[in-house]
Structure 1
Amino acid sequence: MEDSYKHKGMRRSLVRKLREKGIRDKRILDAIGKVPRHFFFENALISHAYQDKAFPIGEGQTISQPYTVAFQTEKLKVEPGNKILEVGTGSGYQACILLELGAEVYTIEYNKVLYERTRKFLPLMGYRPKFFHGDGSRGLPRYAPYDRIIVTAGAPSVPNSLIEQLKIGGILIIPVGDSERQQMYRITRTGERQVSRETFDYFSFVPLKGDEGWGKG
């Protein structure tokens, strides 16, 4: 795995593009500038690694568009030391960004093949979140509560299980909608039974699988 001067230059170009698109948090831009996204691509496809677009990674999943990763992360308001649950490990790229921001990351993946692949691969890059395989739509109650929860797949509604696993003052970012398009929601738990809800732009994610997502599959 080589991270050459050329690759670093491509990352700088990507960071400039994200800044132009409205990403303002310097810590997030710096994190994206550090994580070698081309490591997630086969050699023949490396030219796609620093384009601002999603790309298939197998198993019907994608590595998210860098702008989407930056947008979700910015809305999550990550602070160093935050305990974060990521629902949908996928390629592991989002988890790397969260780790670069100083978070303690718990990440759960529904697809066993992706879970095994990413669990073995990220440590080779020097990134070590806590990996789990299972139904992320139900969260990971064993390690709750969390300061932040980020969902990287489209949900039909906001799972109650995830809200219940937030600390008071904790934030959940989740795309909600149908199978074609979802609106980004930010849910802040303001009390034991109170939440505030904000909505942002529309995106297109792969479906959230599981009991509180789109079911099994």
Structure 2
Amino acid sequence: MNQRIQGIGMTSRRTRERMVARIREQGVRNELVLDTMLETPRHIFVEEAFASRAYDDTPLPIGFNQTISQPYIVARMTELLLEHGSPQKVLEVGTGSGYQTAVLAQLVKLVYSVERIYPLQQRARRCLQDLHLRNVRMKHTDGTWGWEEYGPFDGIIVTAAPEEPPKALLEQLKPGGVLVLPVGDARAQVLQRITRSENDYEVETLEPVIFVPLLDGVA
């Protein structure tokens, strides 16, 4: 592993260990998730100017009015997705920096990730290639459409907030599958986990969150 990926000083493994300890203190208990967060170099997914803050528990700007989610939220959403077993096929709506993608790719068999902002997708693709994560398929598209061609999915994770769960994503969830997403507007958002049964959806409302809005169209 080269030094850029391995990290030094404020991007070193010791700094990642402190980040994981904080996430554990905040209530995340899934050791597979925590181990994956420890092994994933978040600093390569942020702009170089922010690398020294990569392991702070805070979102950071990645350009185009988008952010990389705070580490706790990445861990929490991943834990919620995996709580009842490891899904084989997961759709991620909003590739963004690619950090959440990288965490998922180490925990599930296949990740399908869609992103509406093409330059972000390309930068994320390079980071995933640097980490030799080859089980991710990517598409430049409107995330509210999902990726019907490869559905239905065992799990779906959404990294931006719609005002209500998009119908297309609910329809692309397998029976027994789990959708984890923030829901709300600029004034108030909550994290939800929606589990699909044969004939209905069970909605759990979990905790307040702050995400950028889920926008339609492409850029």
- Taking structure 1 as the reference length, the TM-score comes to 0.92
CA distance in 1, matches of 2:54, 2:82: 26
1:5–1:57: structure 2 CA closer, same or farther, 3 Å change rule? Answer: closer
Which residue pairs with 1:55 in the alignment? 60
1:136–1:2: structure 2 CA closer, same or farther, 3 Å change rule? Answer: closer
1:116–1:44: structure 2 CA closer, same or farther, 3 Å change rule? Answer: closer
Which residue pairs with 2:73 in the alignment? 68
CA distance in 1, matches of 2:29, 2:178: 19
- Taking structure 2 as the reference length, the TM-score comes to 0.91
Stretch of structure 1 that moved more, 194-203 or 36-45: 36-45
Secondary structure, aligned partner of 1:46: helix
Which residue pairs with 2:164 in the alignment? 157
Name segments (4+ residues, structure 1) moved above 6 Å.
none
Residue identity matched to 2:94? G
1:111–1:24: structure 2 CA closer, same or farther, 3 Å change rule? Answer: same
Is the CA contact (8 Å cut-off) linking 1:87 and 1:150 kept in structure 2? yes
Pick from 176, 182, 191 the counterpart of residue 175 of structure 1.
182
Residue 114 in structure 1 maps to residue 125 in structure 2: no
Is the CA contact (8 Å cut-off) linking 2:191 and 2:206 kept in structure 1? yes
Secondary structure, aligned partner of 1:84: strand
Residue identity matched to 2:160? A
CA distance in 2, matches of 1:171, 1:14: 27
CA distance in 2, matches of 1:37, 1:58: 16
Which residue pairs with 1:186 in the alignment? 193
Pick from 18, 25, 44 the counterpart of residue 30 of structure 2.
25
CA distance in 2, matches of 1:121, 1:4: 14
Structure 1 portions without partners, runs of 5+: none
CA distance in 1, matches of 2:157, 2:139: 15
Residue identity matched to 1:112? Y
CA distance in 2, matches of 1:183, 1:20: 21
Stretch of structure 1 that moved more, 121-130 or 199-208: 121-130
CA distance in 2, matches of 1:29, 1:174: 20
CA distance in 2, matches of 1:101, 1:95: 10
Pick from 82, 99, 104 the counterpart of residue 105 of structure 2.
99
Measured after TM superposition, the shift of residue 171 of structure 1 is 0.4
CA distance in 1, matches of 2:50, 2:150: 37
| Aligned positions, number | 212
Which residue pairs with 1:11 in the alignment? 16
Is the CA contact (8 Å cut-off) linking 2:46 and 2:97 kept in structure 1? no
Residue identity matched to 1:156? E
Secondary structure, aligned partner of 1:19: helix
Q: Cα deviations across residues 160-179 of structure 1 (Å, max 9, x unaligned)?
A: 11111011100001111112
1:103–1:202: structure 2 CA closer, same or farther, 3 Å change rule? Answer: farther
Which residue pairs with 1:209 in the alignment? 215
Is the CA contact (8 Å cut-off) linking 2:117 and 2:218 kept in structure 1? no
Structure 2 portions without partners, runs of 5+: none
RMSD: 1.7
Is the CA contact (8 Å cut-off) linking 2:193 and 2:203 kept in structure 1? yes
1:42–1:114: structure 2 CA closer, same or farther, 3 Å change rule? Answer: closer
